Structure formats: C-alpha cells, structure tokens
Structure 1
C-alpha cells in the first residue's frame, strides 16, 4: 500500500481554509500540520480570493458554519452560513465571500472533523465599526 503524501494546509478556521483542507484530503493527501500565520502582534494574516461557486461547494460537501463578525448587519451574528444566507448577499454590492471583511465565519462541523462544535454563552459586541460574536463557551458533540 502506498503511503499518503504529507502536506500542510494553511488554516484560519473559516470556510475557505476548511474547504481547501477537505479538497486536499479528498485528493489523497495526509494533511498534517495545519498552518496558521500570525503577525508579530498576534493578528492573523489572511489571503483572499474565494470564487463564489466555492461557497456552494462548501455547503454541498457538508460543512457547517456561523457568522461571527460583520460590518453589515448585526442580525447576521450567529446565523447559519447556508444557501439562504448566500442568496440574501446578492442584495449587497460586495463580493459574496466577504473578501473585504464584510463578514467572517467560524466552521462548526464538516467532513474533515470527527465531532461538531456546539457554541454557547454568546455575546454580540460592537468594536470600531464591526459587530463580533464573542463565543465564551463551546463543547464537542
């Protein structure tokens, strides 16, 4: 039996990196480790460029996510990232992937995970023009 080629995957915990990791695993790679790049002050460096059709693929292969930050609507916080949410994004004049920080997601389940993350004790916080969902607790189901 041929040993799987080991590769690393860039990881932010969001929809883009989750789908990229999934695709590598589907192509037969062993993804280890996950790489999360941080700047010296501890803030994440992010790459952008998700094509809109990847949003639907992300959902179709079984990933689940919630909105954890937004500059558009407070009501989006904690909302499930699904086809309905994607369809509603069309009324706004920005990239549906939130490429300029209009919203960010947190992946709670998917085909590369053994257990789902159930978040709880949530607080909506407004800081410098952006709403954040402060997740104070969670558990694996």
Structure 2
C-alpha cells in the first residue's frame, strides 16, 4: 500500500517510523512535515528547516513540506492541508502513518479529515503505555533533545536537554513522559533509522508567548478542541 509518513522530526515519529519500516505491508517513500514559512522552521517544534533536511537525508526518505503562515486560522489550516492531501491522493497514496499515542480528539480529527480524501490513518504507537514507549526508544539507541517545552508546566532548564534516564526522573509527576499532551517537543538526531548522526550545536534559549485571536485556534496537539489551547507560552532552544 502506497504510504506517506506524517513526520514531526521528534521521538514518537522516529519510533513509529522504525516500526513501519519493518512492516512490508506499507510501501513508504515520503515524509511529510508542516513548516512555518515565515520563520522557515518546523511547526510547533521550532526546528530549523536545514536540520529537518539533514534528518531526511540521513534516513534516506524523500521529504515533502507543507508551508503555513505564522498566523494561520483553523479554516486556512484545513484548506492548505486538504490541498496537500489531494495532491498525495492523486499520486496514489492511500495510507498515512502517525506517531500519536493517546489523544482521542486529535485522532478523531485526523480520521475525519482523512476520510474526506479516502486516506487511511495508521497509528503504530496507539494506546501503548508512554513509559514503555520511551524506554523502547532509548533501548533501541535513539537519541533526542528537547527543542520546545510548554512554559506552563516545564521551566527553562528542561529545554535543550537530551532525553535520558535523568531527564525522565526530573519530570514533574503531572507531565506525561512522552510529552503527549504537548508538554515538550524533541529533535531526534541519532538512532537505527539514520545512516549517520545529525550534527548540530545548541544555540540560545528564548521564551515566546503567543496571543490567540478570537477567529484563531492553536494548530498544535490541541487544535481540535472547541476552545483554543491557552497554553501559549513556550521555551525554545535553537539548534544550529
């Protein structure tokens, strides 16, 4: 089955991709990533596009980016995504892989939109225990660093940290160990899906806050809720 991958550049995507590449059912030959075109960075993660390109090159799978303006409404987001999915369908793609774990509203939203264009969503990590997922990720030899954390639940000291046993131990009890509620986002720079590690240097850390207008909603993990996500202040670590 002709398949594309919804690639975020983070750890859950990497583990889901690792699993799908071992399944001959899926003919996967493209990674699809959303980009903030005003800043040339991966949406939500804030990762520079050149590091995303290095990831794809090391993985050895073609990368397709979907560009959004910085101030995107839910309507324009849906319109741009629909156009991108129509293009993929026209090329014969029938399935898409996601690294989602337990957010029911997000999965429901995805499946509704996918059904509109006759694409089937596949979720290799769905409903697995997040502690087990992260431990498997580390046991396989993957390496990741946090690039964005929700300032409402995590402080500056958690951004720009490599994911390891100490990181897990330091997480507050109310934070999911995989950051599935949007508590943190990561950049994967090494592991079994890569031909070679991705070289980078840790740059500056900045706190950014966003004001959601009445006609706008957040296009992150919580985009499908009836009300906007008010967790709108984030620590970012620039990787160069």
2:169 equivalent to 1:87: yes
Alpha-carbon offset, residue 39 of structure 1: 7.1
Pick from 107, 119, 122 the counterpart of residue 200 of structure 2. Answer: 119
2:135 equivalent to 1:56: yes
- The equivalences for 1:1-141 within 5 A come to 7-28=3-24, 29-37=26-34, 38=66, 40-41=68-69, 48-49=100-101, 51-52=129-130, 53-70=132-149, 71=151, 72-89=154-171, 91-120=172-201, 122-128=203-209, 129-135=233-239, 137=240
| Residues 66, 78 of structure 1: 8 Å contact kept | yes
Instruction: Pick which of 29-38 and 64-73 moved more.
Output: 29-38
Q: How many residues matched?
A: 131
Alpha-carbon offset, residue 103 of structure 1: 1.1
Distance of 1:10 and 1:123 partners within structure 2: 28
Structure 1 spans left out of the alignment, 5+ residues:
none
Distance of 1:102 and 1:108 partners within structure 2: 20
Higher-Rg structure is 2
Alpha-carbon offset, residue 73 of structure 1: 1.6
Alpha-carbon offset, residue 16 of structure 1: 0.8
| Residues 11, 144 of structure 2: 8 Å contact kept | yes
| Residues 189, 199 of structure 2: 8 Å contact kept | yes
Alpha-carbon offset, residue 48 of structure 1: 4.0
Instruction: Pick which of 67-76 and 30-39 moved more.
Output: 30-39
Higher helix share: 2
Distance verdict in 2 for CA 1:82–1:6, change over 3 Å: farther
Which SS does the other structure have where 1:58 is aligned? Answer: helix
Alpha-carbon offset, residue 27 of structure 1: 2.6
Alpha-carbon offset, residue 40 of structure 1: 4.3
| Residues 21, 31 of structure 1: 8 Å contact kept | no
Alpha-carbon offset, residue 121 of structure 1: 5.2
